[in-house]
Structure 1
Amino acid sequence: MSRPFRSVLYIPASKERALEKARELAADAIIFDLEDAVAPDEKVAARATLSRFLAEVDYGPRLRIVRINGFDTEWGRGDALHFGALAGVDAILVPKVDGPADLDAVAALTGKPLWAMLETAKGMLNAGAIAGHGRLEGMVMGTNDLAKELGSRFRADRMPLQPALGLCLLAAKAEGRVIVDGVYNAFKDEAGLRAECEQGRDMGFDGKTLVHPLQLPVANEIFAPSPDEVTLARRQIAAYAEARAAGQGVAVLDGKIVENLHVAGAEAVLAKAEAIAALAE
């Protein structure tokens, strides 16, 4: 992963004020949403509004992802053709991906990198094949739609969704894809958001999708290496290098074994910290 994806903020493509404000927000990536966030009678106008902003507004280092409407709607193909050819778009996010064929249909209309929304039961069962698609760059958990389809109830520990989250994580990691966690709906509940971000981070997600700018500071904090983690990573690398120089295969640091796999993890921590620092420059 060459860039951080701690915070991936949804912005409605029909809201000019939100589109304007987004260029000042500390989001690592923006999903410009033409699908769920836009009412049917606003779809066509939203396409024109978003096109204008992407052409005129500098969103800086933030990755610009456009979530198009599904191909089962009257707007999906037009969205893919239009934004798939627009210079200001970094990637196309395909909603409700059930399998690789859904990505194939969009890939035939654009050369842009593709992202997939994983939010259906079929998508969960086909996560490995979806992650292995040659044009796929990232995966986004659509936990709201998934919970609705499963008929599962909300729990703070998200136990009902754990099998699906785990399947998608395995698929993404096996193929080296970015994967970001689903949204936390109660945007004023900082404690709840923090707990869910910590859970997602500990599971292995690269970041979290967000529904409101108020959620950005928590996601950016939780999905970034802490100062203590950076310090430990440097100490692990140094200890292992010293052990190797002495002809040893492993090192001991703070009473714990440090092997080459720990060094690889430490190097990943430092690379992420450096990538985050570069965004702030």
Structure 2
Amino acid sequence: MLFGFLGNTLTILVVWLRPHMRSSTYLYLSSMAVSDLLILLLLPLDLYKLWRPRPWPLGDLACKMTMFLSECCTFCTILHITFLSLERYLAVCWPIMAKTLLTRRRTRTLIGCLWLGAAVSAAPVLLMVGVEDVGGEEPSDIDNRECRCTHYAVSSGLLSAMMVVSNLYFLVPLCILGLVYSLIGRTLCLRPQSSRRDQSHRHTVKMLGVIVLAFVLCWLPFHVGRTIFFFSMGTYFNLVSSVLFYLSAAVNPLLYNLMSEKYRHTVRSLTFSTNHLPRDGLTSLA
């Protein structure tokens, strides 16, 4: 949590305090960092529920909002990775069209629409979860209130519908990502490697490919784990997949740092409170 909080905060600061980092790619990455930060901030509550599932101390509204926020950020991250990859596809395969379509203003508007779409998709969670008494039929002095999926959600089929939506939110983007990166790879392989722009595209696509791979490795077990838990209560697999889910929210800044010299240089300049990059550094990193 601490590592992810520091890394994602640095990503946001790097983009918003350094104008040369406000390309469409880094605008997406900074918005993803906001989503990852919100996910990590919910980690202490998840740990608390594992340690002491009942009684839930924060009330019904907090129960609903924390579960909604977690689901909303999950959908939001998936949408960001998908649309960022589509943006790279346009930039590589249709560069003339990309110059017209991919402006900063449109990117900011699209990012806002992604957040809105994720919030609307996660809205049913507000009806699905709540604080319920899970005690036995006989009266007890023990407070058995728990933040959980309600009996209404199970009996009405809302839980099953939301599981389908959640899995589609992962499987459909996964198919899109596979197709997009296949087309990008094919296009780059057919072009000469001497073009400076294509070399820049190759580097960016390579970084995004690693981000997508980390996303799949961390989130595939999460979705499989939730499905197993839904059907057969596979607690241990679900616990491991949850660890990978939170790891995914923390690891992206490390990947940017490892794969992008531009990102490393800007973080270094921000850390040491310099006001600008060296001119030769800007030229080599452009």
TM-score by length of structure 2 reads: 0.26
Instruction: Look at both structures and tell me which one has the larger radius of gyration over its CA atoms.
Output: 2
Structure number having the greater helix percentage: 2
TM-score by length of structure 1 reads: 0.26
